[in-house]
Amino acid sequence: MKYLTKIFLLLDKKDQKNLALLTLFSLFISVIETIGISAIMPFINIAINFDNIHSNNFNQRAFDFFSFEKDINFAIAFGFLLLGFYFFRGVVTILFSYILVHFSEYLYSQTTKKLFKNYLNMPYFIFANKNSSYLTKTIITESALLSKVINSALLLMSEVFLVICLYTVMMFVNWKITIFFTIVLAIILLFLTQIISKRVKLVGAKREEFQSQYYEIINKLFGNFKQIKLQDINRLEATHKEFSISVKEYAKAAATGGFLSAFPRLFIETIGFTLIVSLLIGLLYSSQSSIAHILPTLGLFAMALYRLLPSVNRIVTGFNAILFHHKCIDIIHEELGTIQEYSGNDSISFKKNIELTNLNFYYDDKKILNSINLTIDKGQKIAFIGESGSGKSTLVDIIIGLHKLTQGEMRVDGVLVEEANLQNWRSQIGYIPQQVYLFDGTISENVCFGREFDEDLLVKVLDQANILEFLQKKQGIETLVGEDGIQLSGGQKQRIAIARALYGQPEVLVLDEATSALDDETEKKIMDEIYKISKDKTLIIIAHRLSTIKGCDNTYTLKNGILESL
């Protein structure tokens, strides 16, 4: 019940309303199914003895109202009416199945979109502490499993309604036989839910654990393929063994889950048909004669059980599916509850300076930056240096709007940078990281990076980044870079990153140790190009090498969270 409540809370109001309507539709289906089964008994009664037409008040009224002349005509008409009803039932059931499948897949797409939007709006400091393979698995796999769980939950409710309706009819026809069947089926359900279902839940938790592991191993492999290839044979075998164990354990959990899901159907069918045959034997023994006189009742119970057994199986299977995939509900519920940031697009103009006043920043109760006061003038070139972990990147992340201030304030041309104008300020930043990620596509796609295509601007920034001449010897802006820029050298990747940053026509260029992985000669060339490009722009550099910052107007050092000018 807890998980059904969580599922309901994951839906918005519109989807909750649709879910409620589907639940009512499933109740309607249950009533129709019950009527279809209940109608068998009176038809068999009439078919085996026409006298039952006239001995039953309802049948006699119908016979007289429609002016039937012969009993056989009434019986045949009753049969055709039953056929028409079954056709109607089939159409309605198919429609329900169609709507149910489309609703669950619609919810999958909605959940995926919600998760993706949540991750886009996630504060940077939270994202930095997340595992990318975990986020990928949540969006792709766990969302799909949630759709499966919702489908199972809806089917479960539908079958519960049907079981209640069928039991009501069976109790009305013969309460003694019904009570006997109820006790037997209750014992079966108790066994399946208390023993099998608990095992399913444990196996489901293992499924999620081992699937997370092999997602992470794959992510590490593809992200560090060159380093993996250069390792010795023992490490390669260890990597393969680690992956093999995770996949083996996942497959084992999935196989166990699959078997445990199929077990209830086989078990219930065996017990159900055993009950029917046992009932017939018992009736024959007690009467010591033919049981034709109770054939209609037996027919009803046979039909009811024939429909009831699959329903009980679907209830158990649906319940087990929810338990097996219950972790996806917890994961998505947690991920959709992740802290979100609001970043408005109110205009903020940068014509004069950036001012940081009494800036303090804490991370997990540890003070990273201490009383920072700094003014950066428009067009100024400044650098931050210091030991690793001294807070250089944190300070720059605050300046470019990725981290929220703990204390103090930041103003641009006297205007406070806050949630209302945060996205507008971020859009004025051109960021060049140390590790450049280029996706498998063309130069054009990688530089534009989803922004509106402007060929003139694209050619201009590629020329500014001093890589246009190289590209013209290949396929120009349609040159393929390969995944993570594998077709390019380190210097060429860095130039693409510069072009990408310039394409947004930023007011501020930020180099986050962008050339630290390059050799001295390549670094000097790129830095000369950057200083030339940023002539009319504000340039902020994070660096280890002093050679990188020779062209800067001011250099600052950070030590123990304190900023000092060199």
Question: Is the per-residue pLDDT at 227 higher than 60?
Answer: no
Question: Is the per-residue pLDDT at 5 higher than 60?
Answer: yes
Residue 282: helix, strand or coil by DSSP? helix
Q: Are strands 366-377 and 353-363 parallel, antiparallel or unpaired?
A: antiparallel
| DSSP percent split of the chain into helix, strand, coil, nearest 5 | 70, 10, 20
Residue keyed to tokens 């390549």: 522
Of 232 and 414, the one with more pLDDT = 414
β-bridge mates for residue 383, sequence order: 541, 555
> What is the rounded average pLDDT of the residues 8-37?
82
Q: How many residues does the chain have?
A: 566
> What is the rounded average pLDDT of the residues 529-548?
81
Beta carbons of 400 and 426 less than 8 angstroms apart: yes
Question: Is the per-residue pLDDT at 71 higher than 70?
Answer: yes
Beta carbons of 453 and 444 less than 8 angstroms apart: yes
Of 157 and 204, the one with more pLDDT = 157
Residue keyed to tokens 């303090």: 360
Question: Is the per-residue pLDDT at 442 higher than 70?
Answer: yes
Under the banding of pLDDT at 50, 70 and 90, the label for residue 404 is confident
DSSP string over 25-56? HHHHHHHHHHHHHHTHHHHHHHHH-THHHHHS
Under the banding of pLDDT at 50, 70 and 90, the label for residue 519 is confident
Q: What single-letter amino acid sits at 346? A: D
pTM of the predicted model, to two decimals? Answer: 0.68
CA distance 238 to 431: 38
Residue 416: per-residue pLDDT: 92
Q: Which domains does the chain have, with CATH numbers?
A: 2-336 (1.20.1560.10), 353-565 (3.40.50.300)
CA distance 207 to 255: 10
The candidate with the shortest Cα–Cα distance to 527, out of 506, 504, 550, 558, is 550
Query: How far apart, in Å, are the Cα atoms of 259 and each of 201, 203, 256, 266?
Result: 13, 11, 5, 11
Question: Is the per-residue pLDDT at 509 higher than 80?
Answer: yes
Question: Is the per-residue pLDDT at 45 higher than 70?
Answer: yes
Of 326 and 372, the one with more pLDDT = 372
Under the banding of pLDDT at 50, 70 and 90, the label for residue 335 is confident
Beta carbons of 341 and 121 less than 8 angstroms apart: yes
Residue 380: helix, strand or coil by DSSP? coil
> What is the rounded average pLDDT of the residues 232-248?
73
Rg, the chain, Cα only: 36
Question: Is the per-residue pLDDT at 511 higher than 60?
Answer: yes
The candidate with the shortest Cα–Cα distance to 172, out of 312, 37, 56, is 37
> What is the rounded average pLDDT of the residues 158-180?
77
**Which two three-digit tokens encode residue 470?**
């190289």
Beta carbons of 407 and 359 less than 8 angstroms apart: yes
Give the containing element (helix H, strand E) for 471. helix 468-472
Residue keyed to tokens 């999620």: 208
Residue keyed to tokens 């920072």: 372
Mean pLDDT of the chain: 79
The angle formed by the CA atoms of residues 162, 168 and 171, to the nearest 5 degrees, is 135
DSSP string over 238-272? HHHHHHHHHHHHHHHHHHHHHHHHHHHHHHHHHHH
Q: What single-letter amino acid sits at 520? A: D
DSSP string over 206-243? HHHHHHHHHHHHHHHHHHTHHHHHTS-HHHHHHHHHHH
**Which two three-digit tokens encode residue 449?**
């990076």
> What strands, in cross-sheet order, belong to the sheet with 538-542?
429-432, 508-512, 538-542, 381-385, 554-559, 562-565
